[in-house]
C-alpha cells in the first residue's frame, strides 16, 4: 500500500446548496460542521443550505493558491494547496468500507485525490517519484482519499474549497523550484480536469 508522503492535513470547506421550499416565503437555511478522520488526514466539512446551484456531474477543480510555511529555522518545508471544486451529482468521496474493486488497494481508484510532484531540473519540468524510505518499503506518494461527502436530501450538488497540507522539501534533491499537478475523481470514476499550481520557489 502506498504511504501518504505528505501525512496530509486535508480540509474541505464544503458548501452544499439545497432546493428552495417554494411553499415558504422565507428560504430555509442551515449550517453544520462535521469532523472526519481518515488515514493520516483530517477533513473538516462545513455545510450550508442556500439556493440550488447546478454543476456538471464530472468534478471540476480550479487552483486558487499555494501558501508556503516556514520551519523553525526559516526554511520552506510545508505548503498548503488550495483548490476550488464542484461536483454536480455529489458522488464525491470514499468511505472506509469502499475497498472492493475498483477501489481496492493497488488499484488506481483506491485514491480519489491525485497529486503529481514536479521539479524544475536544469530548466526542464521533471516528474519526480520519490524512492522508498528504506529497502522493501512502498513507494512514497502524495495521493489521498477524500472521504464520502455526498449530501443528504434531494439536491446533491457540491461546491467548496479543498485545502491540503504538503511537505515541500524533497530531502533527496537540491533543486529548489517545484510544482504540483492535481486531479480528483468521483465514485463513477469521472476524472476531473487537470490543474497545475503556480511555480513554487523554495528556500532550502
For residues 79 and 151, is the Cβ–Cβ distance under 8 A?
no
pLDDT in the model for residue 169: 87
DSSP string, 4-49: ETT--EEEEEEEE-----TTSSS----EEEEEEEETTEEEEEEEE-
Over residues 112-140, the pLDDT tens digits come to 999 999 999 999 999 998 777 667 666 67
User: Domain boundaries in the chain?
Assistant: 3-201
The pLDDT-based confidence of 202 (bands split at 50, 70, 90) is: very high
Mean pLDDT of the chain: 77
pLDDT in the model for residue 141: 86
Over residues 131-180, the pLDDT tens digits come to 776 676 666 788 999 999 998 888 889 999 999 989 898 888 999 999 99
Q: Is 168 left (phi over 0), alpha (psi -120 to 50) or beta?
A: alpha
Amino acid at each position: 500500500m502506498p504511504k501518504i508522503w505528505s501525512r496530509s492535513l486535508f480540509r474541505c470547506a464544503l458548501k452544499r446548496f439545497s432546493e428552495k421550499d417554494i411553499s415558504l416565503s422565507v428560504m430555509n437555511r442551515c449550517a453544520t460542521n462535521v469532523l472526519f478522520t481518515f488515514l493520516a488526514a483530517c477533513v473538516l466539512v462545513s455545510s450550508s443550505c442556500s439556493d440550488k446551484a447546478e454543476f456538471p456531474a464530472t468534478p471540476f477543480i480550479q487552483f486558487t493558491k499555494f501558501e508556503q510555511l516556514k520551519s523553525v529555522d526559516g526554511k520552506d518545508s510545508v505548503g498548503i494547496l488550495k483548490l476550488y471544486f464542484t461536483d454536480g451529482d455529489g458522488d464525491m468521496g470514499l468511505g472506509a468500507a469502499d475497498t472492493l474493486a475498483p477501489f481496492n488497494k493497488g488499484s488506481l481508484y483506491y485514491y480519489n485525490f491525485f497529486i503529481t510532484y514536479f521539479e524544475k531540473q536544469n530548466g526542464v519540468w521533471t516528474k519526480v517519484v520519490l524512492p522508498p524510505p528504506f529497502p522493501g518499503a512502498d513507494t512514497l506518494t502524495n495521493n489521498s482519499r477524500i472521504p464520502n461527502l455526498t449530501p443528504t436530501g434531494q439536491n446533491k450538488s457540491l461546491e467548496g474549497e479543498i485545502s491540503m497540507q504538503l511537505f515541500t522539501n524533497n530531502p533527496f534533491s537540491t533543486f529548489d523550484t517545484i510544482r504540483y499537478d492535481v486531479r480528483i475523481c468521483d465514485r463513477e470514476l469521472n476524472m476531473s480536469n487537470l490543474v497545475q499550481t503556480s511555480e513554487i520557489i523554495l528556500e532550502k
